Chains A and B, each alone.
Chain A
Amino acid sequence: MFTNIDTFLPYILGGLTTTVQAFLFGAVLAYSIAIVAGLARTSRLAIVRGVATVFVELFRGTSLLVQMFFFAFAFPALMPFTMSTFIAGGLALGLNYGAYASEVVRGAVLAVPKGQKEAAISLNMSKFQTMRRVVLPQAFRLMLPGLGNNAIELLKGTSLVYFISLADMTFNANILRSSNTSLVSQVEIYTYLLLVYFVLALPLVFLTRWLEKRASKGVSTA
């Protein structure tokens, strides 16, 4: 057992680039969406709030895999242009996790005490100034641990691009498995795959822990 590491592991790692690319594409999109949608949901304008709520509920209410299939197979049929499966997978990841992360952003903005806003108003700050100088710096600290957790979830989510035939690590492992069908090699292949994902996630785990610790340190919560 575990004797084929020199052939199996490099083959699985051949999909590392795709996994990391999907993760980065998804993360950039997700966090951009999270900030915009999260702030839009705290807006005073009912239309802005409504649009953001519909978007968030739609993407949280349907499953990630369903969205991925939609963007990969159904969406191109509707649109006049074609879209690569990589873009489709990244879009699904970004929109889905963006919707979840926007809740973290919204929660953090709402968690900033009301007195802070009132103080900003009494100092004659404009709305923009209040947001930029008072609310966001405090909310940002609160949302970091949640966003870190979200990144871990996103990394796990990238394995779903296997279903739309992107050659990520999971996809490569399944190709290996179909040509090495003995029980021992199958267990070996998926053990390596799990370990690689674990090693990829570890930095994110430590980063999140650190952010959690930092978020609760040295700040008065009164």
Chain B
Amino acid sequence: MTWDWAFAFEIFPRILQGVGVTIGATFSAFAISLTLGLVLTLLRRSSFKPLSLTIAGIIEFIRVTPPLVQLFFVYFAFDMGPFLTGAIVLGVHYSTYVSEVYRSGINSVPKSQWEASRALNFSPVQTWRKVVLPQAIPPIIPMLGNYLIILFKETPLLMGIYVTEMMMIARSIGAETYRFLEPITIVGFIFLVLSYPCALFIRYLERKSGQIPGSAEKGVKA
């Protein structure tokens, strides 16, 4: 079997129809992981030990079990639509990674900043909102961007719970026509074309802002 250009051009628009779902799922999941990630980070820093240990345990469990199995679990345990399930599960899964990123950002804020806010009689909420977070977030933006790209490349998993994203469409084309080469290559090509420029942009941001200490060891896929 060789590459068939006519067939490739014929199916390209059909696969492209799935790109909206893929990107939609990516951004919904990313929004969830950004929000939940911050909540997890803050809870984990709680001085009430049972709470912070429980949160640390939950984070560890979600982090080291396969997202695919988590998808199946939630899909069959709760009565939610496939897209919603997919966005929530991927969002929650990556919130555990994102919380690690927030943590490194918060840890890189000098201790004197905390002491200064205390001296100025700031409340804890004011300290976080006006002093710590505004300094902790900007340096970690490139790393958060990295996780957006990783999340994007994880979305084909959603075909496991019947979300009609690009890979699902490619597989059904393959099943109908017995030609897998073109549809799968096209999906890979679309992933590469969309993710590579973003990755280059993020590397540029990283170089501009300079790496923050301790950031490299956690982000495996950074």
Contact = CB atoms under 8 A, between A and B. Distances in A.
Interface of A: 57-58, 60-67, 69-70, 73-74, 77-78, 100, 103-104, 107, 145-146, 149-150, 152-153, 155-160, 162-163, 170, 173-174, 177, 183, 186-187, 190-191, 193-194, 197-198, 201-202, 204-205, 212
Contacts, number: 132
A107 B216 contact: yes
Contact of A62 (B2, B63, B171, B191): B191
Interface string B132-175: 00000000000000000000011111011000000100110010
Contacts of A201: 64-65
Contact of A57 (B63, B76, B157, B196): B196
A198 B156 contact: no
Contacts of A212: 217
A74 B220 contact: no
B73 A170 contact: no
Interface of B: 1-2, 60-61, 63-70, 72-73, 76-77, 153-157, 159-160, 167, 170-171, 174, 179-181, 184-185, 187-189, 191-192, 195-196, 199, 216-218, 220-222
Contacts of A146: 216-217, 220
Contact of B184 (A73, A170, A183, A198): A73
Contacts of B159: 65, 163
B220 A100 contact: yes
Main secondary structure of the interface of A (DSSP, over half): helix
A66 B160 CA distance: 13
Contacts of B174: 73
A159 B188 contact: no
Contact of B68 (A104, A160, A183): A160
Contacts of A60: 199
10 contacts: A60-B199, A63-B153, A65-B156, A66-B191, A73-B174, A77-B180, A177-B72, A187-B73, A190-B76, A194-B65
